[in-house]
Structure formats: C-alpha cells, structure tokens
Chains A and B, each alone.
Chain A
Amino acid sequence: MRSHVRQQVELLRRQLHAPSGDVDLSGACVDDEIPVVDDAVLDARTGASQHRAHTRHQLSGREGLHDIVVGAEFQTQHPIDLVGSGRQQDDRHLRAGTKLGEKIESRGTGKHDVEHHQIRRRPLQHDFRLVGVRRFVHPEPFPLQVGGNDLANPRLVVDHQDAVGSDGHHLIVWRRSSQATVATDGFATVSVRSVRRPYTRRMPDPIVVLDAVSVRFGPTPVLAGLDLRVDPGTVVGVAGPNGAGKTTLLGVVATLVPLAAGRGTVLGAALGSPEARLVRPRIGWSGHEPALYDHLTLQENLHLVADLAGLARQEADEALRRVGLGAAGHRRASESSNGMRRRVDLASLLMRRPQLLLLDEAHAGLDDDADAIIDVLIGMTRRQGGAVVMVSHDARRLRADADVVIPLGDLSP
C-alpha cells in the first residue's frame, strides 16, 4: 500500500482501539473522488459492534475491469466469514495458518467473483491482516453490496451475516485501478454487524413489544388491549379500515402517544420512561402528510432536518439527488406537488437511515418511482437489522411488501 494510506490506516487503528464508549470514525477520506461516509458506533456495553456502517464510494462510471483490494485488520476469537451477495466461488480459501501480512492477489477473468474467505484463529491471538482481491466488471452490480440499488453509486459494505459472536472493527482498504487511469487508493472503516442468528447464544431483542396496550382520546378508547411484537429484520404490516386506530398505533410505537394502560418497549426503551426520548432519533416516520415548511425550498427543508439530526448538509443534497429531486431543490415546498413533497420526506429517511421505520399509508398517492424509494428504504432497514411497521387500509399492497400482514382488530383480544 502507499505510504499515505498506511498513515491513515494507522490513525484509524488508534481510534479503533479507543478504550471504551463511542468511537467516532466519521470523516475519514483519502481521495476526493471517493466520498467516504462512515458512521460506526461501538456498543461498549455488549462489546459487539452492532451498528450498521457503510462506505460509499463512487466509481468513476467507467466501464471495464476494476481491481478491488479488500483488506481487513481485526482481532477476533471466532471464525468469521467475509461474504457478500452474488455468485460465490469457493476456490479462494486462505490456507489455514496464513502468515501475517501475506497478500493474496488473484486475477480472475470475466464476471465478478466473490471472494469467500475464511480465517481461522491461530493458536495464539494475533492481529492479522487479510488482503484479498475482489474483482468485478462495472457496471455489473457491485459484489459486496448490501444496500443501494443504484448502479451509478454502488456501495461497499462488508456484512458478516454468518458471524458467530464476532466483534471488532474492520478496516477495509481498497485500491482500484482501471485500464486507463492511475490507480488510486482508498480505505474505509466498517464495523461488523454481528447479526445474531438463531443458533447463537442469544435471541435477538425484538425491536417493538407492546403488551396489552390501550390508548384513549378523551373518553373514547382508540386502542384496547393490543399486543404486538416486531423482530429485527422484519416488516410487519397492519391493515384496517380508515378510522380504526392505525395511525394511533404508529404513534404509540413512535413513543409519542401516551398509553392509558399496558406496557411497551421500543428499541430497548420502555414506553413512558425517560429513555424513550433517547431512542427517537432511531425512529423514522413517513405518512401522507409530509412535515415540510411551505415557505422553505425543498433543499432548505432537507438541510433543516440534517442540521437538527447532526448530519452534514452534503448528505441532504445527496439524498435529494437520490430521490430524483436534485434539480428541483430550489423550489418552495408550497410550489411543489404532493409527490415531490413526499419524496423529500423519503429523502430525509434515506439520510437518517432509521432503525425503526414507520409507514403510515406510505404508498398512497405515489408514482412508481417514488414507490421504488420506499421499497429501497424498507430493504435497507430490514438488512441492517431494523424493522418496519407499515399500516394501510390496502391489505393487498401490504402483502406485497410485508413479511406478515395483521388486521388491526386481530391484535386485540
């Protein structure tokens, strides 16, 4: 690797081994052409880095052959697999006992190969470095993608889906080259999301649990004795006619509507407790009424959300482009169609990437393009171990998107 990349690696390694608490890995960028967005927060209590992180890098849009060097540096006590989606070839295993710093390069031919590496722990615990080569043909789908169906902006994420209790931070270093241009190096940090599978020690904590929940508005009961459980990685649809209390249910799950009776837990926080407000930034809501300020432009509205959420404004601009409003950002919200306003709402969710996504008649009044945005949001949330609760009067539509559709009336005794 080039020396300046090595320097950056060193810098990040020191950050990674911070004693405890939150580790802020944002803003590491080597190459201007490669915007790197990292956000990884270590969960110091459980020792498992359970937060999604991603890197984004833009390939130059040039077709051709690209070499990607994938590097990882970590400590682990368990075997881990580095896998991605796509076709797998198993003929690139590292031999057991790979030496430190040994670099593996392979140059295959033709279509993208996914490297499937297995590292076994050595008798003594060591830092060891794996460097592998991944190759793909642009604009084929990027082999390591987890989120992002946008071919122009593929996303590199390493997702240890089958990891068994692995934890730690992983440094991905890559180098890309093309036939015509000079090679550039980049790197990103990714924290491994150890999604606990059923065969591991613990069941995943549900994202939402409601236990005999009742809500009243004045003397009128709106929800009575309602039970609900939403597990990570699932999409739950709740169907019911208009006026049945679906929006109220979402309000309860969003920790915003107080309970008249019963208990509930959302994202680990008990409803009605002071912790409930702490999990709110991880909750996203999209309804038929977008929360836009009429007199501000679409871009200003999104910048407002970014500022309040502590995100960079460039992310807002990026999200605006993603939803297809890159050229319309200067229009005032009052002068924009409802479809455009809804897209801005969805853009703010793309930007915030909430862990719990609440959709209130979200597909109502949207065209196919905007529907696609919602589908992507649902997919992203699901894949990062979050959950989606959708309510709609359209049970057919729900069945297309949700893992399970429950009529609202069935949730109460």
Chain B
Amino acid sequence: MSRFWIQAWTIARRDLLVEGRSRETVAVVVPFATAAVFVVPFATDALDVRLATIAFPVYWLVGLLFGMQVALRQTAVESLAQRRQLALLGTDPVARFTGRVASAAVLILVVLVVTAPLIFLFYDPDPIARPWPMTGVLVLFAAGMAMLSTLAGDITTGLATRTSLAPLLVVPVSVPLLLGAAQSLESLVRGRTTLPWVLTLVVTDLALALTGVMTARSLEESNT
C-alpha cells in the first residue's frame, strides 16, 4: 500500500519538478490567462456596470479553458519510451493517475488564484463578504478539472489531433464542475446556501475519481 503512495508521490514530484524547470504553467499559461482576462472587456463597451455583470462568468470560463490547458500542457506529455519505462518499472497505473492529477490540480489552483484578483481589478464586481468558503470550491473545481483533463489527455495520447480533441471531450462534461463552482459563488454573493452546489462538486469529483481508477489499467494497455 505504501508503495502505491510512494509511486504516486514520485510521479507528482516529477511533474512539479519538470514544471519548476520548464515553467510552462507559470511563465506561459498564467500570462495567457491573464491576457485573456484583460482582453475580454475590449469585446464590450467596457462600461463598469456591464463588466461587473460578466466578471464572475469570465473568471470561471478562464478557469475552465485554461485549467484544461494546464492539465494538457506539452511538458507533461510522456513519450512512448517514457511510458514504456513506467510500465516496466511496475508503476501502478492508478498511482500514476493519482500523481498526475495531484500535480495538475496544484497548477490549476495556481491559475485560479492568480486570476482572481485580476477579475476584481479589471471588472470591479461587488466585493464578496466572507469569501472563505470559496477556497474549498476552488480546490474541488481544480481537482475535478485535473481529473477530467488528465483522463481526456490519456484517452487521446499519441493522436495527432490531441490538442483540440482533448478539450472537445472535456468541455461538454465539465458542466457539472462549472455549474457547481459558478453557482456556489453566486449563492455566496446572494446570501443563499451553497450546499447543493458544493455537493454537486463533491459528487462529480468522486465520480471522476472512480472512473479514473477503473479505467487506469485499460489506458495503460492502450498507451504503451
């Protein structure tokens, strides 16, 4: 059992170490997300009222699209030789999935955290009283996007159209995550209970985790 966690931790550490060296997320995706947040208002008349209305929807959209980008980033793609090596080292495919999801979730969370203050800066929505429950929502959203995108990435490993195909697979079924996160925030702002939406996030995350565990072995067979 502990060997499983050692392997998962080693894989997660590998991904984060590679990210630390290549800085693909921090130096490329985050600026990209920042630029996107900044550019959207140019498609409106940038009147303060209109911007405040679209502030949070833009935030979640950026979180969705760029969260996918992070999980599907090029430096996280394993070559055939690397996948073969992992298989021959006896790496548990579920441990590999866990490790990759953990590192992707951390990086997605970075994107979400960096983008949030920019939304307030450029869109000027009403400030949120007591925003602390959003920490949990962000974590659940990041975890769900990490799992879903990692699954899509594994399903499309080695295919030429991967960079467009994987997002196509993710976007329609990411709606529960999007709704859960966005409606949680909206409920918090309106003073309503966030419970049903947090539960939606939790259930979706659990379902994704279960799917990931069940399909990990099959995916390894198809990818080595």
Our verdict on whether A and B bind, yes or no, reads yes
B84 at interface, CB cutoff 8 A: yes
Find chain A residues with CB under 8 A from B18 CB: 293, 295-296
- How far is it, in angstroms, between the C-alpha of A304 and the C-alpha of B13 when the chains are bound? 9
Query: Is the beta-carbon distance between B224 and A256 smaller than 8 angstroms?
Result: yes
Give A277 Cβ to nearest chain B Cβ, in Å: 7
Find chain B residues with CB under 8 A from A280 CB: 87-90
Query: Range of interface residues on chain B?
Result: 20 to 34
A309 at interface, CB cutoff 8 A: yes
Partner of B89, one of A254, A256, A278, A309: A309
With A277-B90, A291-B82, A308-B90 already in contact, 5 other A-B pairs whose C-beta atoms are closer than 8 Å? A280-B87, A291-B79, A293-B18, A304-B14, A308-B10
Give A150 Cβ to nearest chain B Cβ, in Å: 25
Interface segment, A189-197, A282-290, A402-410?
A282-290
- How far is it, in angstroms, between the C-alpha of A290 and the C-alpha of B79 when the chains are bound? 10
A258 at interface, CB cutoff 8 A: yes
Binding site for A on B (CB under 8 A): 3, 6-7, 10-11, 14, 17-18, 21-22, 75, 79-82, 84-91, 221, 224
A375 at interface, CB cutoff 8 A: no
Query: Is the beta-carbon distance between A296 and B85 smaller than 8 angstroms?
Result: no
Query: Is the beta-carbon distance between A281 and B14 smaller than 8 angstroms?
Result: no
Query: Is the beta-carbon distance between A300 and B17 smaller than 8 angstroms?
Result: yes
Q: List the 8 shortest-distance A-B pairs measured between CB atoms, nearest first.
A: A291-B85, A295-B21, A281-B90, A291-B81, A307-B10, A289-B81, A308-B89, A256-B224
- Known contacts A307-B6, A307-B10, A308-B91: A296-B21 contact under CB 8 Å: yes
- How far is it, in angstroms, between the C-alpha of A351 and the C-alpha of B3 when the chains are bound? 19
- How far is it, in angstroms, between the C-alpha of A190 and the C-alpha of B170 when the chains are bound? 54
A97 at interface, CB cutoff 8 A: no
Can you offer 13 A-B residue contacts whose CB atoms are under 8 A? A254-B88, A284-B88, A285-B88, A291-B79, A295-B17, A295-B21, A300-B17, A304-B10, A305-B89, A308-B11, A308-B89, A308-B90, A308-B91
A110 at interface, CB cutoff 8 A: no
Query: Is the beta-carbon distance between B81 and A308 smaller than 8 angstroms?
Result: no
Find chain A residues with CB under 8 A from B10 CB: 304, 307-308
Query: Is the beta-carbon distance between A256 and B17 smaller than 8 angstroms?
Result: no
- How far is it, in angstroms, between the C-alpha of A291 and the C-alpha of B75 when the chains are bound? 14
Find chain B residues with CB under 8 A from A291 CB: 79, 81-82, 84-85
